Amino acid sequence: MSYLVIIRGPLGVGKTTIAKKLAVKLKGKYFSVDKIIKKDKLGYDTEDGNISQKSFLKTNEVLAPEAKKFLAKDISVIFDGNFYWPSHIEDLIERLNVKYYIFNLQAPLEICIKRDKDRDKTYGVEAAKAVYKRSTELVCGADIDATKSEDLVINEILSFL
């Protein structure tokens, strides 16, 4: 049985790393919301100091048809992104119309800032703070402590599936 897995959380929490490794474990297909935001230059339209709902809904327009192709072949799809707008999540779930799981990766702000600083392309402290505030305000899905090892985080997620 295939399903949708949404890995969400603040900048620097480890979403991409976990989502990619989870996709390998599940023999699923990984999708990056951030890649579409960058590729289609959707990050310039802002709302309340963050990337707008409209921009994130456009990512669903691009990614959902591709995801449907895999779901039709009984291959699960794993999305990673901040997912801080409820409309973004609701729209994606509606478009894909499959069983879904949402996982919130959580870590203290200081860890997220450090992880962002340590990557090749850093977004900076202010961006990390803004996304942290926005993404932690939304309550949905299962909370996962992302300060643990990657294997422990993945195993905890797998225990829900």
pLDDT greater than 80 at residue 128: yes
Residue 50's pLDDT band (cuts 50, 70, 90): confident
Is the distance from CB of 125 to CB of 144 less than 8 angstroms? Answer: no
The arithmetic mean of pLDDT across residues 135-143, rounded, is 94
Q: Where are the alpha helices (DSSP H) in 27-149?
A: 33-39, 53-72, 86-96, 109-118, 125-137
Residue found by looking up tokens 């990984």 in the block? 30
pLDDT greater than 80 at residue 141: yes
Rounded CA separation 13/15 (Å): 6
pLDDT tens sequence across 77-93 = 999 999 999 999 999 99
For the chain, what are the domain ranges? 4-160
Q: How far is CA 118 from CA 14, 41, 74, in A?
A: 12, 24, 37
Rounded CA separation 62/145 (Å): 30
Closest CA to 111 of 28, 37, 9: 9
pLDDT averaged over every residue in the chain:
94
Per-residue pLDDT at 7:
98
The fold adopted by the segment(s) 4-160 is Rossmann fold (3.40.50)
